[in-house]
Amino acid sequence: MGKTLAINAGSSSLKWQLYAMPEETVIAKGIFERIGLPESISTTKFGGESHTRKQNIVDHRQAVLLLMDELIHFNLIKEFREITGIGHRVVAGGEFFKSSTVITPEVLEEIKNLSILAPLHNPANVLGIEAFQRLLPDTLAVAVFDTAFHTTLPEKAYRYPIPTKYYSDYSIRKYGAHGTSHMYVSQEAAKFLGRPIEDLKLITAHIGNGASITAIDGGKSIDTSMGFTPLAGVMMGTRSGEMDASVIPYMLESDPSLRTAQDVIDVLNNKSGVLGVSDLSSDMRDLQAAKEQGNPKAILAYEMYVDRIKKFIAQYFGVLNGADAVIFTAGVGENDTDVRRDVVNGLSWFGMELDETKNVRGVFGEISMPDSKVKVLVIPTNEELVIARDVEIAKQNK
Ligand SMILES: Nc1ncnc2c1ncn2[C@@H]1O[C@H](COP(=O)(O)OP(=O)(O)O)[C@@H](O)[C@H]1O
Ligand SMILES: CC(=O)OP(=O)(O)O
Ligand SMILES: [Mg+2]
């Protein structure tokens, strides 16, 4: 019973939804974008209204304080204690957290220790958790891990082909990310197709600022494109994705502005991907606009981006030995009709046939032809709903 707040702290954003539970009614939702950059934007939506404000927000702690002010200001809650549960997205749970967990001081300590596995995300997740602990010290708080859904990966998929001691002594392996989203959209896809998920082979493409592709067999993740950290896999807004590891020491040797391995990783995490190749922006909307104007760097960045997504989907046709459906989700996957068209048409040999008339913005469900061997679906993700549901389970177990 009561109101539950679901917090999805990304590297530069904080998305939130306030729910009446257990009815799962959304009372309000919003997003703080461009945290740490000039002109941060906050948007709050409730009862058909939308309020947007521009202000400088230095970190996730300040975003939490502003969020609580807004909830009171817009009369969405009268006092803080109406919130009886808070769910926090945490990207890396390592091998330690296999499912959602009530946050205790020991749990928070462990989440901090796991920051090496998600350097852009876990520190932001921790700031969000700590800010709420100060404001609502007695409220049930639950951590929901991106990695939990991928704990079903078989060893052949999660191990790297390096000496065994690096796994046994240092836990170096593939952990994946975006698991909450891959799980949610795969379950929604099964409902949409009217088939039990146990009978389905699915490839889910979560393409947002961060992006990952997952192979799901019978509802279980069996391979995924992100790795030890969310740097691996496809090319992303600011991240390189897969590349030859030998480049790392060579960048260090050849560029005098780089002093440590961490400096190189910062370039690969924050200055690469679409931003690095286009020299323009990490945002797909900006890239599309520049591409329309014939900007050659933007065209190359776009072609590389689509190429990497195609290759990972093609790989997972191999891992699964065929698939019933490919699902697009997240900011780019849900909105960018060009990316979907070019990926699907470039994989037509695998049995995907796009229905151009259905491939429009805001579409939900099937965008393939009725007789397409592999269905192509667009399913909006909802990580916040899964988070709120896990808080509800924790409330009931209290
Ligand atoms: N209409 C649109 N067309 C193309 N891309 C879009 C559109 N709307 C959002 N995006 C892309 O979605 C990205 C954000 O996706 P999102 O899933 O919110 O990412 P994250 O959770 O990683 O911050 C933006 O960087 C932008 O590139
Ligand atoms: C793990 C990850 O990349 O998350 P996001 O897409 O929210 O940055
Ligand atoms: Mg996201």
Domain boundary among 81, 114, 145: 145
Closest C-alpha to 227, from 242, 239, 215:
242
Is the interface score ipTM higher than 0.90? yes
- Supply the pLDDT for residue 388: 98
Least confident residue range of 6-15, 44-53, 174-183, 266-275: 6-15
In this structure, the residue with its CA closest to atom 2 of ligand 2 is 210
Check if the beta carbon of residue 152 is closer than 8 Å to that of residue 220: yes
274 lies in some domain: yes
Q: Return the ligand 2 atom nearest residue 178 CA.
A: 1
SS3 (DSSP) at 329 = strand
196 lies in the same domain as 332:
yes
- Supply the pLDDT for residue 381: 96
Domain of residue 18, CATH code: 3.30.420.40
129 lies in the same domain as 194:
no
204 lines ligand 1 (CB under 6 A): no
- pLDDT tens digits for 292-322? 999 999 999 999 999 999 999 999 999 999 9
- pLDDT tens digits for 145-197? 999 999 999 999 999 999 999 999 999 999 999 999 999 999 999 999 999 99
Q: Tell how far the Cα of 276 is from the centroid of ligand 1, in angstroms.
A: 17
- pLDDT tens digits for 205-248? 999 999 999 999 999 999 999 999 999 999 999 999 999 999 99
Q: Which residues of 96-133 are buried (b: 16+ CB within 10 A; e: fewer)?
A: ebeebbebeeebbebbeebbebbbbbbbbbbbbbebbb
CA distance readout (Å), 82 to 26, 76, 77, 187, 343: 15, 10, 7, 31, 46
- Supply the pLDDT for residue 1: 63
25 lies in some domain: yes
CA distance readout (Å), 135 to 83, 143, 355, 396: 11, 17, 50, 23
- Supply the pLDDT for residue 34: 83
151 lies in some domain: no
217 lies in the same domain as 124:
no
pLDDT at residue 12 tops 90: no
39 lies in the same domain as 134:
yes
pLDDT band at 254 (very low <50, low <70, confident <90, very high): very high
- pLDDT tens digits for 17-58? 999 999 999 999 999 998 887 888 999 999 999 999 998 999
Range of the domain at 342: 190-378
131 lies in the same domain as 194:
no
Residue in 146, 336, 342, 390 annotated catalytic = 146
Tokens 């195609």 correspond to what residue? 310
Domain boundary among 145, 180, 211: 145
Work out how many domains the chain is built from and give that number: 2
pLDDT at residue 11 tops 80: no
Q: Among this protein's residues, is 263 annotated catalytic? A: no
160 lies in some domain: no
140 lies in the same domain as 198:
no
331 lines ligand 1 (CB under 6 A): yes
208 lines ligand 1 (CB under 6 A): yes
- Supply the pLDDT for residue 10: 83
115 lies in the same domain as 195:
no
- Supply the pLDDT for residue 142: 98
344 lies in the same domain as 212:
yes
- Supply the pLDDT for residue 206: 98
394 lines ligand 1 (CB under 6 A): no
CA distance 237 to 257: 23
What's CA 18's distance to the chain center, in Å? Answer: 20
383 lies in some domain: no
Closest C-alpha to 212, from 190, 227, 228, 197:
227
- Supply the pLDDT for residue 36: 84
97 lies in the same domain as 231:
no
Using most ligand atoms within 8 A of CB, pick from 8, 11, 150, 269 the residue to mutate for ligand 2. 11
356 lies in the same domain as 214:
yes
Tokens 């796994």 correspond to what residue? 167
Q: Return the ligand 2 atom nearest residue 206 CA.
A: 6
pLDDT at residue 398 tops 90: no
Q: Return the ligand 2 atom nearest residue 330 CA.
A: 6
128 lies in the same domain as 198:
no
Check if the beta carbon of residue 72 is closer than 8 Å to that of residue 127: no
357 lies in some domain: yes
266 lies in the same domain as 371:
yes
In this structure, the residue with its CA closest to atom 5 of ligand 2 is 210
What value, to the nearest 5°, has the Cα angle with vertex 31 and ends 28 and 33?
Answer: 170
- Supply the pLDDT for residue 37: 78
Half-sphere exposure of residue 205, counting CA atoms within 13 Å on the CB side?
A: 33
264 lies in some domain: yes
pLDDT at residue 364 tops 70: yes
